[in-house]
A and B are shown apart, each in its own frame.
Chain A
Amino acid sequence: MNGPARAGRDPIRRAYILLLRIYPSHFGRRYRDDLIQAFDDRRGEPRFCGLRGGGRLVLFLLRDFATSVPLARGPRRDDRMATMMNRLLQDLRFSGRMLAKNPVFTVAAVVTLALGIGLNAATFSAVRGLLLKPLSGTEAPERLVQLYRRWPGMDYGSNSIPHYQDVRDRTGEVFSDVAAWYFTQIALSDEGRSERIMGLLVSADFFRTYGATPHLGRFFLPEEESVGPGAHPVAVLGNGFWRTRFGGDPSVVGRTLTLNGYPFEVVGVAAPDFRGPVAFADAPIYVPLMMQMQIDPGRNLIEARGSNMMNVIARLNDGATVERAQDVLDRLLLQLREELPDDYEDQLGTTVVPQMEAGIHPMFRTAQVGMSGVMMAVVSLLLLIACVNVANLFLTRARERRKEMGIRLSLGAGRGRILQQLLTESLLFSVISGVAGLGLARIAIRLLARVRPPMDGPWAFAIEMDGTVLAFTLVVSVCAGILFGLAPALQSARPDVLTAVKGASARRPGGSRTSRGLVVLQIALSLLLLVTAGLFIRSLQGATRIDPGFDEPATIAVTSVDPGLQGYDRQRATVFFDRVLAEVRALPDTRDVGLSDWLPLGLGASDRGVEIPGYEFAEGERQSIQYARITEGFLEALGVDLIAGRTFTVDDDEGAPPVIVVNQRFAEHFWPGVSALGRIVHTAGKDREVVGIVADGKYRSLGEAPTDMMFLPHRELFGTELAVVARASGSPQNVLREIREIVRAADADMPVFDVRTMEEHMGIALLPARLGGSVLGLFGALGLLLAAVGIYGVMAYSVAQRTSELGIRIALGADRHRVVRLVLGEGIRLMVIGTALGLLGAVAAGRMVRSLLYNVNALDPMAFLGVPAILVAVATLAVYVPARRAAAVEPVRALRAE
């Protein structure tokens, strides 16, 4: 017998309980518990256990509903209901028999449609989870907006804490709450166990802004922000983290945890549905913004108006609109520009993005929407191909059943009754396919939700099946089933009785025109799908071929450390890093080693404003340039080519004259045609001399256009979060292990993170292309398979229909080869038409996805020639097999069949 825990998860049981509403209310109220009990008793029987038993149970219950619903109604309506129910039952039984009689047909059609439906449901879930669905656990999400500062060349700039405070305090007429947050690394230790997590620093009104509720304890209080920095060491746990890390123990509230060496008291736990401010992560811990100096030592963000790290979210007042908010923010900016001209002269405005439209980040919105659109289009195509297949199968069968229908009509069956029966059959068919499709979708969603970017973090993609996805699947499957099952069936309910019974009209030209049309459509759709998939696969290849500007990423070992998390000051941290650098350099299997606060292709980069004597920035031209703070050895370890001058040395520290290394593009941008060496760049508070020029590389992502980049000496501009980057001459894994040991020997408590080779690190930059390429490749292969099955089905059927004609030709002396050519020729004609149409569609589709492709022409010859060649080869095979069979026809048998 099922335990209560398992019974709760039994999907059949849940569906059964839902379906109990079919019963009249008095019956349902009276017997609900008994019915469920009886269900549980049945479910416990051996014959209804397991997967097959479950199937049997579903059929048993359906029959039970059909008999008992009229039984449970009042005696009056009884007769009509009973007749209807009986009829339905009879139809169901008959349909079931029809489907079971032809198992190959049924299985082929169900699998085809289930694949189409399942992939649609899964893709829809993913798109919905990441793009369409409001953040879970928030109240009235349509009134939330994200605020970004706009600078020349940057539409979605972050905010500083002082700027956030001004916005919060001076926009009361449009915003009821304004909150700020940012993710940061936190070393958490509790009862001797320490780990590094990605925590959130949030303003006191953060939870109120989102409308989140605490599961236990409380959230932050206003005085935890108003009373000076560092005064309130309190923390709130995310629900998921509370359950996994603390086993859901309620006594955690009130306990003290050590965060970055400081004691913090846990004051509350967030509700399970609120998972933080982004849809792709489950925030583990929240700390008040005013504790920034304790959590993130070494810099004071609380007072630095120029340190833009914060994401700002605001809740619109009742009646306030985005336009009014925009006006108020523009006015505020004018005021701030008057009060603080130095800080605000560059800012152009404020970008207001409704939270519901922001997606992962508004900056990626176009790419996200584009990629989601491509995915949805591709799976829709796949579904369409599946539907064409199903239509074909039903059409074929409808012709076979024309005789049966004719006989039934001639015996006096009403057309309505036959129609009802056919409708039942298509519905039964689509429901079976829909259920199978949902099963597939569940598997696919589980796989999708497990995708993790190759980066440490509290990743949790909000992809799940919910009511909307279920409704979507239901609608899709019922529409698909009716449209493609019933329409052909209708044809068969309309034959004229006499010819149908005689069976003479088995080859009406109209019917075969339909199926030829379907073959053309099939080929065109498959080609469109395959060429698009091919483009993305080529794009993946293109992305791996892009020169990132450094050599052999597989032999570069990277390990990040942040002694600031352990409370080190600059002097201690310098001693620590010098020791680590010296020991790593001394390892026998490393060549070059250096430190950097940034790694290429990690999606992120910081910028700084620059001024170049003698260069006028154009209106709207971006005045801030990406930069990295690096030590000697870093560019060498990466293998970046030095074009002119020198890279940094140990001596480029605070005492030395300020210097800078720039990339080639930077040099050509500001000093076209002349040498950049010796020129001056004003940035980071000093006039710096250009001492070196290095080759261009890819900095944020592989797909980016060439960009300016500058390198500043870390020994002068210190920071504590750094990556140790070493070029291994032997096994990079050994070097990684050795670096970890060296760090541990220097400080046993120092957490190391993001330990990996550069190649692994680059996985982040390649993730979109890899994911897109492999998913589309899979979809493409499925499309090819479905198309081959469909083409074969239609051709085989058409050959079978023409058996007698071909037999006569052979009997009259036609050469068998000619018969093969005849059949083949017809198939190839359809193929050519379909291919031409498909290629036209693919050209249009290629235009649409151009912006999403790396390093590949939208009319890539491989995709546009190679892929159709494969399709034509497969399709020819699908035609050739029936053609051969046609040629083998025995004339006598063929004639007798007439």
Chain B
Amino acid sequence: MPDPDLDGILPLTPAVFHVLVALASEAKHGYAIAREVEDLTDGRILMGPGTLYGSLQRMADAGLIEESSNPGDAARHAQRRRYYKATRLGRAALRAESERLLRALDLVRERTGG
């Protein structure tokens, strides 16, 4: 059974799903998230500045992610950037969504004999 807090959050949009994947291991700043999502999807999800921060704001409002301190990134402009990490809810949502996708995949395989 999924966590009851996840009502109304699942299913995740592909963008939100991939942002959560990008933040699964460590905190990242906005642009790094966008680049990672782009890599993860072979360039199919290309987030412009507005789309990126619009999504991040929504996800933060929904409690999926939160701002975090700079995890020791010493790169240029690192001090000025805003960093994000996944919340417990965010990680739960990612897990639940992955399970949902796996079940869906199983279902398809079963029916098509794949």
Q: Is the CB of B57 within 8 A of A34?
A: no
9 contacts between A and B (CB under 8 A): A34-B30, A34-B53, A37-B30, A38-B49, A65-B50, A67-B48, A68-B48, A68-B49, A71-B58
A41 contacts chain B at the CB level, 8 A cutoff: yes
User: Chain A 28-63 against B: per-residue CB contact (8 Å), 1 yes, 0 no?
Assistant: 001101111111011000000000000000001101
Are A37 and B48 also in contact (CB < 8 A) when A31-B57, A71-B54 are? no
B52 contacts chain A at the CB level, 8 A cutoff: yes
Please measure, in the bound complex, the distance between the C-alpha atom of A898 and the C-alpha atom of B30, giving whole angstroms: 60
B103 contacts chain A at the CB level, 8 A cutoff: no
A845 contacts chain B at the CB level, 8 A cutoff: no
Q: Is the CB of B52 within 8 A of A38?
A: yes
Q: Is the CB of A30 within 8 A of B46?
A: no
Please measure, in the bound complex, the distance between the C-alpha atom of A1 and the C-alpha atom of B76, giving whole angstroms: 11
Please measure, in the bound complex, the distance between the C-alpha atom of A34 and the C-alpha atom of B57, giving whole angstroms: 12
**Interfacial residues, chain B to chain A (CB-CB below 8 A):** 30-31, 34, 46-55, 57-58, 76-77, 80-82
Q: Is the CB of B54 within 8 A of A39?
A: no
State which of A38, A65, A71 has its C-beta within 8 Å of the C-beta of B30: A38
Q: Is the CB of B30 within 8 A of A64?
A: no
Of all chain B residues, which has the CB nearest A62? B48
Please measure, in the bound complex, the distance between the C-alpha atom of A812 and the C-alpha atom of B50, giving whole angstroms: 66
Q: Is the CB of A71 within 8 A of B55?
A: yes
Of all chain B residues, which has the CB nearest A35? B49
Q: Is the CB of A27 within 8 A of B54?
A: yes
Of all chain B residues, which has the CB nearest A44? B31
Q: Is the CB of A27 within 8 A of B49?
A: no
Q: What's the nearest-Cβ distance from chain A to residue B6, in Å?
A: 18
Please measure, in the bound complex, the distance between the C-alpha atom of A23 and the C-alpha atom of B34, giving whole angstroms: 20
How many residue pairs at the A-B interface have CB separations less than 8 Å? 67
Residue among B34, B54, B55, B57 with the highest chain A CB neighbour number at 10 A: B54
A837 contacts chain B at the CB level, 8 A cutoff: no
Chain A positions within 8 Å of B76 at CB level: 1
Please measure, in the bound complex, the distance between the C-alpha atom of A35 and the C-alpha atom of B50, giving whole angstroms: 7
Chain A positions within 8 Å of B77 at CB level: 37
**Interfacial residues, chain A to chain B (CB-CB below 8 A):** 1, 23, 27, 30-31, 33-39, 41-42, 60-61, 63-65, 67-69, 71-72
Q: Is the CB of A27 within 8 A of B81?
A: no
Of all chain B residues, which has the CB nearest A71? B54
Q: Is the CB of B50 within 8 A of A72?
A: yes
Chain B positions within 8 Å of A38 at CB level: 30-31, 34, 48-49, 52-53
Please measure, in the bound complex, the distance between the C-alpha atom of A36 and the C-alpha atom of B49, giving whole angstroms: 8
State which of A37, A41, A71 has its C-beta within 8 Å of the C-beta of B50: A71
Chain A positions within 8 Å of B57 at CB level: 27, 30-31, 72
Q: Is the CB of A60 within 8 A of B48?
A: yes
Q: What's the nearest-Cβ distance from chain B to residue A699, in Å?
A: 66
Chain A positions within 8 Å of B81 at CB level: 34, 37
Q: What's the nearest-Cβ distance from chain A to residue B22, in Å?
A: 15
Are A71 and B31 also in contact (CB < 8 A) when A34-B81, A37-B80 are? no
Residue among B34, B46, B52, B77 with the highest chain A CB neighbour number at 10 A: B52
Q: What's the nearest-Cβ distance from chain B to residue A443, in Å?
A: 30
Chain A positions within 8 Å of B49 at CB level: 34-36, 38-39, 42, 61, 64, 68
Of all chain B residues, which has the CB nearest A19? B50
Q: Is the CB of A68 within 8 A of B54?
A: yes
Please measure, in the bound complex, the distance between the C-alpha atom of A265 and the C-alpha atom of B50, giving whole angstroms: 56
Please measure, in the bound complex, the distance between the C-alpha atom of A37 and the C-alpha atom of B52, giving whole angstroms: 12
Instruction: Return the 10 tightest CB-CB contacts between A and B, nearest first.
Output: A64-B48, A68-B50, A71-B54, A38-B49, A41-B31, A68-B54, A31-B53, A35-B49, A68-B51, A72-B54
- In the complex, besides A38-B30, A64-B48, A68-B51, 5 extra interface pairs with C-beta distance below 8 angstroms are A1-B76, A37-B30, A37-B77, A67-B54, A69-B50
Please measure, in the bound complex, the distance between the C-alpha atom of A36 and the C-alpha atom of B34, giving whole angstroms: 14
Q: What's the nearest-Cβ distance from chain A to residue B61, in Å?
A: 9
Q: What's the nearest-Cβ distance from chain B to residue A749, in Å?
A: 55
Chain B positions within 8 Å of A65 at CB level: 48, 50
Please measure, in the bound complex, the distance between the C-alpha atom of A30 and the C-alpha atom of B57, giving whole angstroms: 10
Are A67 and B51 also in contact (CB < 8 A) when A27-B57, A31-B57, A72-B57 are? yes
Q: What's the nearest-Cβ distance from chain B to residue A13, in Å?
A: 12
